[in-house]
């Protein structure tokens, strides 16, 4: 028996997988996720032997999901974009289902699993690292998923005016709302486009598109954002602000 998790943001795609897997009683579905953040939590909690993983998802892509895991299960990728499939095949990934796929293609992927059960997934690790290192193509997300109450909501990165450290977490501030991220401010900084987001304090990152005014305060500065909030530039980060003063 092998525990299986289905990860795809489209409900019909998960339904199709459930239908095809019904012919394989040795593969037991123990969970489903429709976004990358929940997928990471579920994989860590349930420790499946196999996951069906969509590449294109909101928040975290399928490949970004893998970078958050300490141990990799067996993986069958799926996507509608064949540029990813080509890279996966070049690296001999476990298998790849290019949407829309047939039952016959699905069965071929299942047959490939037995050949991978006792092999380290170095190919998957290479694929993940190649995508993470590819900074010129799609390094910075345009939308992210953050918690709001008991659910996750999509937030446009372009709407974030500034980010403030909140203990081990971070607050993302837009014009009208504040969202709490489970990531620390240092982790968030590396995920954002440095052309737009500027670290001005160990506790603050600002979106320079929302800077309304800058006031000099002795050897440092205060920055007024479009929403009216004022944030302090620490002395150690002041040189970064000076770089964009003309």
Residues 18 and 48 in one domain: yes
Of 72, 105, 138, the one marking the end of a domain is 138
Q: Are strands 2-7 and 50-54 parallel, antiparallel or unpaired?
A: parallel
Q: How far apart are CA 144 and CA 153, in angstroms?
A: 8
| pLDDT value at residue 135 | 44
How high is the mean pLDDT of the chain?
A: 83
Answer whether residue 150 is part of any domain: no
Is pLDDT of 105 > 60? yes
Give the least confident one: 79-93, 117-131, 163-177, 185-199.
117-131
Is pLDDT of 107 > 60? yes
| pLDDT value at residue 103 | 94
| pLDDT value at residue 92 | 43
At residue 219 the predicted structure's pLDDT band, cuts being 50, 70 and 90, is: confident
Non-local CB neighbours of 2 within 8 Å, separated by 6+ positions = 26, 27, 28, 48, 49, 50, 74
Residues 9 and 128 in one domain: yes
Q: How far apart are CA 226 and CA 161, in angstroms?
A: 8
Is pLDDT of 246 > 70? yes
Residues 226 and 104 in one domain: no
Of 138, 173, 200, the one marking the end of a domain is 138
Residues 133 and 20 in one domain: yes
* Helical residues (DSSP H) of 148-214, grouped into ranges: 185-189
What backbone torsions phi and psi does residue 217 show, to the nearest 5 degrees? -130, 90
Is pLDDT of 67 > 80? no
Answer whether residue 61 is part of any domain: yes
Of 112, 138, 164, the one marking the end of a domain is 138
Is pLDDT of 186 > 50? yes
At residue 34 the predicted structure's pLDDT band, cuts being 50, 70 and 90, is: very high
Residues 206 and 113 in one domain: no
Give the least confident one: 25-34, 131-140, 141-150, 171-180.
131-140
Domain that includes residue 172, residue range:
156-242
Q: How far apart are CA 119 and CA 75, in angstroms?
A: 12
Residues 90 and 129 in one domain: yes
| pLDDT value at residue 139 | 63
Residues 160 and 94 in one domain: no
What is the pLDDT averaged over residues 112-129?
A: 55
Handedness of CA 193, 194, 200, 201 (dihedral sign): positive
| pLDDT value at residue 149 | 65
Answer whether residue 193 is part of any domain: yes
Answer whether residue 149 is part of any domain: no
Give the least confident one: 88-92, 108-112, 216-220.
88-92
Pick the most confident of 111-125, 140-154, 216-230.
216-230
- pTM for the full predicted model: 0.50
Indicate which CATH number applies to the domain containing 191.
2.40.50.1020
Answer whether residue 167 is part of any domain: yes
Residues 103 and 35 in one domain: yes
């Amino acid at each position: 028996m092998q525990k299986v998790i289905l990860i795809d943001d489209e409900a019909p795609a998960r339904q199709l997988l459930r239908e095809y897997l019904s012919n394989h009683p040795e593969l037991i579905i123990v969970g489903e996720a429709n976004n990358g953040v929940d997928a990471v939590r579920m994989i860590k909690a349930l420790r499946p032997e196999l996951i069906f993983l969509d590449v294109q998802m909101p928040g975290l892509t399928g490949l970004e999901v893998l970078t958050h895991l300490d141990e990799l299960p067996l993986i069958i990728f799926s996507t509608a974009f064949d540029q990813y499939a080509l890279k996966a095949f070049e690296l001999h990934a476990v298998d790849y289902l290019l949407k829309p796929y047939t039952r016959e293609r699905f069965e071929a992927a299942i047959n490939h699993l037995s050949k991978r059960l006792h092999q380290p997934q170095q190919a998957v690790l290479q694929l993940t690292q190649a995508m993470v290192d590819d900074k010129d193509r799609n390094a910075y997300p345009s939308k992210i998923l953050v918690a709001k109450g008991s659910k996750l909501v999509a937030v446009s990165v372009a709407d974030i005016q500034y980010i403030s450290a909140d203990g081990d977490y971070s607050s993302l501030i837009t014009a009208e709302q504040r969202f709490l991220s489970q990531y620390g401010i240092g982790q968030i900084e590396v995920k954002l486009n440095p052309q737009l987001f500027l670290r001005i304090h160990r506790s603050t990152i600002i979106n320079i598109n929302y800077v309304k005014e800058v006031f000099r305060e002795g050897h440092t500065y205060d920055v007024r954002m479009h929403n009216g909030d004022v944030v302090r530039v620490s002395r150690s980060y002041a040189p970064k602000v000076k770089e964009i003063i003309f």
